[in-house]
Amino acid sequence: MLMFKPNLWQIPTIPHDVQQQLAHKSEILIERLKQIAERHQAAKFASSLAVEDMLITDLIVKCGIRIEVFTLNTGRLNPETLALLEQVEQHYPTLTLQRYFPQAAAVQAYVHTQGKNAFYDGVEQRQQCCFIRKVEPLNRALQAADAWLSGQRREQSLTRTELPFSERDQARRIAKYNPIFDWSERDVWAYILRHQVPYNRLYQQGYPSIGCEPCTRAVKVDEDIRAGRWWWENKDSKECGLHTQSV
């Protein structure tokens, strides 16, 4: 008996017009990054190692822009993501990629009281896990920062359609920037492929959006690109808490 195998999302083909506009969009992005660095004494970029974040990291390093890059190792990352961490440090020998981990005691308490995979049981349990593994480490990473950057784009989900370039992180009382807020998925991939920027091999397996291993799956070609993130939840609740405190 033949088993039906769904067509999975694929890295997009890049139309000629997108390729032609790439140099101009890149110049604008470089200026945005330079302006952020000039406005702030301690701007930091939170990289999830997604292609969007790899694009921004590539420009920060190549242009020598004074923005610190850090990442959050949640303890539940895919092997492919961990492999990319090592590859990034080899590819950019001048980059100091700071890594932040969750508090071991908080993880142990969650596992003991809720269960290792309790995030499947409800939004509250999932958000609690995200807070322990992502939000609290992010808070520590940003303690000495006066601004931080994300790789969010308007096109990514319904919760980000009004995303601005600059906003205020009220909870942390610092500025926040989304420098590629107006880039399309094809814009991002055009840059990644043209400049041979390292990227997570899960993208080649139908993963257009990658988080922790148990909370991420491949998506079909006709699904939303974030459909594989917390796929058991309503689409309106699909945020981990990292980006929900800014206005």
User: Closest Cα partner for 153 from 98, 197, 208, 95?
Assistant: 208
**213 contacts: CB under 8 Å, gap ≥ 6:** 76, 77, 78
Q: What is the pairing mode between strands 43-47 and 166-169?
A: unpaired
Question: Does residue 144 sit within a domain?
Answer: yes
pLDDT at 247: 43
Q: 223 is in which domain, residue-wise? A: 16-237
Q: What per-residue confidence (pLDDT) applies to 246?
A: 52
Residue 119 lies in a domain: yes
Residue 157 maps to a domain:
yes
Residue 247 lies in a domain: no
Helix, coil or strand: residue 92? coil
Residue 3 lies in a domain: no
Question: What is the count of structural domains for the chain?
Answer: 1
Least confident window among 42-46, 84-88, 157-161? 157-161
Positive or negative, the Cα torsion across 58, 177, 169, 243? negative
- The answer to whether the pTM exceeds 0.85 is yes
DSSP output for 137-164: HHHHHTTT-SEEE----GGG-GGGTT--
Residue 44, token pair as written in the block: 């930091």
Token representation of residue 146: 């006066």
**Domain presence at residue 74:** yes
Q: How far apart are CA 124 and CA 102, in angstroms?
A: 18
SS3 71: strand
Q: Return the residue matching tokens 């990289």.
A: 47
Residue 158 has pLDDT above 80, yes or no: no
- CATH number of the domain that residue 151 is part of: 3.40.50.620
33 belongs to a structural domain: yes
Q: Is residue 218 part of a domain?
A: yes
- 173-212 pLDDT per residue, tens: 999 999 999 999 999 999 999 999 999 999 999 999 999 9
Catalytic site positions: 240
**Position with higher pLDDT, 243 vs 15:** 15
Q: What is the pLDDT of residues 57-113, one digit of tens each?
A: 999 999 999 999 999 999 999 999 999 999 999 999 999 999 999 999 999 999 999
Residue type, 219: V
Does the pLDDT at position 157 exceed 70?
no
Q: Give me the pLDDT at residue 161, please.
A: 74
Lookup: tokens for 54: 């790899």
Q: What is the structure's pLDDT at 162?
A: 83
Q: Which residues pair with 216 in a beta bridge?
A: 229
Residue 26 pLDDT:
98
Q: Give the model's pLDDT for residue 7.
A: 93
pLDDT score of 159 more than 80: no
| Structure tokens that stand for 153 in this block | 């784009």
